[in-house]
Amino acid sequence: MNDGFLSTMDADIGALVRRASRIAWRHPAYLGAFYRLARRQAVSARLREDNRASGVPAPAFLIVSVTRRCNLRCVGCYSHAAAERERADGRTGEMDARTLARVVREGAELGVSFMLIAGGEPLVRAREVVALARENPNVAFPVFTNGTLIDRNLIAELKRARNLIPIVSVEGGLKSTDGRRGNGVYGRALESIRALSRAGVFFGVSFTVMRDNVGELTSPEFVRGLARLRCGIFFYNEYTPIAPGTESLCVDAASRAAMLRALEGFRRRYPAIFLAFPGDEDRFGGCLSASRGFAHIAPDGALEACPFAPFGDTSARDLPLADALRSPLLAGIRARHGELSETSGGCALWNRREWAEAGGAD
C-alpha cells in the first residue's frame, strides 16, 4: 500500500497547528498551549511512523464517541441511527471512565495528534472529557457538542484545559438549525458561542452540509457573523445518508466544488481554520478512514473505520489499542482505499457497505 500520502498529511497537520498558533494572537491565553501542540507534532509523526513500521497503523486522528446519550433528537441524527444498529447487534453501554482514559492514553502514546470527542452529546460526560484533555496535554481535543450544555462551570474548566476545544454544531441560522434540531436550540447554541467568545475561549463550529443549507453555510454574511465572534475553526461535514432514504439530502458535485472554492476564499480573508470533510480527502488519494488517516472508537469500545461507516471487527475495550488497530477488516479497507473515491456525494465506504460488512471480501 502506498503510504506516500502520510508525509503530505504530516506536513498538513504541522501547517494546521502552525496556523492555529498564528491565529492564537486573537486568544493570547492559548499561545503557550498551541506552541506546545505545534512542537509536539514532529514527535507524534515519528511515533506514528515507527508504529506503522512495526505493523501498528496508528492514525493521526482518532474520533472517540464517548456516549450515544443526547438531550436532543435531531432529524437524521447519525448517532441515533448508529445506536439502533448497535442495539440490533446486541451492543449497548459505554466504556467506563477508567477504560476510556486507558484507550485515549494509549492513542496518545501511539502518536495520535487529535482526539475528536463526539457522541451523542459528549458533554453529558463533561467531567470525564475534561479529565481526558488534562491527562494528555500534548494532544488536541476538539469536542463536538450541540452547545446546549455549556455553562459557566464548563467554561471555567475550558479556560484551564487549553487543549480542549469546544466545537458547537449548528445547521446555519435560526430556521435551519431549529428546523433540524428543535425549537429554541439555535438560540441556546448561539448563547453558548457568545459566552465562549466573551470568555476568550478558543472555539469552533461544525456544520452538517446538505443540499438545502450549503448556500447559507457558505454565504459571506453567515461566516462573517461567526468570524466576528472570533470563531477559530469551521468544520464543514458533508451529510452521509446513514439513515435509509435520505440520499436526496446530500450535496451534489457542483455544490461541493462551489463550497470548496468558498472555503479557499474564507481561508484568505479570516484568521481561522476552514476544514471540509470528506472534501479535502482527495488531496490524500481518497478515503482516509480505517486508520489510514483516522479511525473511530464507538461508545462501547468497538474500533470502526469511520463514524459514518461504522464497520469493524475488533474492540479497544477488550484489547490494547495497538492490537485492536491490527484489525484485518480495517487493513482490507485500507488496501482498497483507491476504489473509495467520493463520487456521487456522501461517503464512498458507506456506498460500498455490503462489501465492508462482509469483512472486505468480494
> 293 vs 299, which CB is nearer to ligand SF4?
299
Q: Report in angstroms how near the CB of residue 147 gets to ligand SF4 at its nearest.
A: 9
* Residues making contact with ligand SF4 (CB under 6 A): 70, 72-74, 77, 79-80, 119-121, 146, 181
Contacts 24+ apart (CB under 8 A), 286-289: 286/337, 286/338, 286/340, 286/341, 286/342, 286/348, 287/333, 287/337, 287/340, 287/341, 287/342, 287/347, 287/348, 287/349, 288/9, 288/337, 289/333, 289/340, 289/349
Q: Report in angstroms how near the CB of residue 46 gets to ligand SF4 at its nearest.
A: 35
> 126 vs 329, which CB is nearer to ligand SF4?
126
> 177 vs 291, which CB is nearer to ligand SF4?
177
> 107 vs 119, which CB is nearer to ligand SF4?
119
Q: Report in angstroms how near the CB of residue 82 gets to ligand SF4 at its nearest.
A: 10
Q: Report in angstroms how near the CB of residue 78 gets to ligand SF4 at its nearest.
A: 7
Amino acid residing at 285: G
> 73 vs 152, which CB is nearer to ligand SF4?
73
Q: Report in angstroms how near the CB of residue 236 gets to ligand SF4 at its nearest.
A: 16
Q: Report in angstroms how near the CB of residue 210 gets to ligand SF4 at its nearest.
A: 13
> 292 vs 296, which CB is nearer to ligand SF4?
296
